[in-house]
């Protein structure tokens, strides 16, 4: 199929494999009702171009929290590393603690909701420490690792220390959702009991 800068939806349906083959070489724009609808691009082109995007939410209140957490985790690195080894995590402790911070700061009720938000929300993805072109963990791997963190009294204590000294008030003001301290206390109690 010769390169066409854009095609209609009918042509896409009729010649899907040829259009996809063409997209390996050049992005193809698909129009619907005469307006741009979707682009078909190869994975290589997509990742090459997404790497160029440098997401920097410097003005967002979550940026100050991320900076605080990063500095505080650096100060606690030996303790954090030892606790992570004892917990036998499959994912590094820092992104997991940041993910749990998102759950507490934004009122996400379940692990599945947290995973979905990190997958889809660029701000949360950045906060946790994933780049735009980095693949997120599977729900099973993520869930297992979160369970391991929450079973560790030491890791939950570190999370609590980090958040209680973090500048979270601007997020609560912006969203109307306060830091979920009740859930944090529940995690702490459960980890101490060994549930």
Residue 50 has pLDDT above 80, yes or no: no
- 139 occurs within a structural domain: yes
Percentage of residues in the chain having pLDDT higher than 70: 90
Q: Name every residue whose Cβ is closer than 8 Å to that of residue 172 and which is 6 or more positions away in sequence.
A: 105, 178, 179
151 and 91, same domain (yes or no): yes
151 and 107, same domain (yes or no): yes
84 and 125, same domain (yes or no): yes
pLDDT band with cut points at 50, 70 and 90 for residue 1: very low
- 55 occurs within a structural domain: no
pLDDT tens, position by position, 66-96: 999 999 999 999 999 999 999 999 999 999 9
pLDDT band with cut points at 50, 70 and 90 for residue 29: confident
Our count of domains for the chain comes to 2
- 21 occurs within a structural domain: yes
Percentage of residues in the chain having pLDDT higher than 90: 59
What pLDDT was estimated at residue 36? 74
Average pLDDT, rounded, for the chain: 87
32 and 122, same domain (yes or no): no
Residue 172 has pLDDT above 80, yes or no: yes
46 and 79, same domain (yes or no): no
Cα–Cα distances in Å, from 74 out to 71, 93, 110, 111? 5, 12, 28, 26
CATH (domain of 15): 3.40.1620.10
45 and 68, same domain (yes or no): no
Task: Determine the average pLDDT of the residues in 19-48.
Answer: 75
What pLDDT was estimated at residue 48? 66
Domain containing 20 equals 6-50
Is residue 146 within 8 A of residue 99, CB to CB? The reply is: yes
If one compares 97 and 132, the residue with the highest pLDDT of the two is: 97
pLDDT tens, position by position, 126-169: 999 998 778 899 999 999 999 999 999 999 999 999 999 999 99
- 106 occurs within a structural domain: yes
């Amino acid at each position: 199929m010769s390169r066409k800068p854009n095609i209609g939806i009918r042509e896409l349906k009729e010649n899907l494999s040829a259009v996809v083959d063409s997209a390996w070489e050049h992005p193809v724009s698909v129009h619907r009702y005469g307006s741009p609808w979707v682009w078909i691009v190869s994975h290589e082109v997509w990742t090459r171009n997404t790497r160029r995007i440098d997401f920097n939410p410097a003005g967002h209140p979550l940026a100050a929290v991320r900076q605080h957490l990063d500095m505080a985790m650096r100060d606690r690195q030996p303790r954090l590393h030892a606790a992570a080894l004892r917990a036998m995590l499959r994912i590094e402790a820092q992104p997991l603690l940041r993910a749990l911070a998102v759950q507490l700061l934004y009122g996400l009720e379940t692990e599945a909701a947290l995973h979905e938000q990190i997958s889809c929300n660029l701000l949360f993805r950045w906060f946790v420490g994933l780049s735009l072109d980095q693949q997120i963990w599977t729900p099973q791997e993520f869930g297992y690792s979160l369970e391991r963190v929450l079973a560790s009294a030491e890791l939950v204590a570190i999370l609590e220390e980090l958040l209680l000294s973090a500048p979270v008030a601007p997020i609560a003001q912006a969203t109307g959702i306060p830091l979920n301290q009740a859930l944090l206390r529940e995690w702490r109690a459960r980890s101490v009991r060994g549930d």
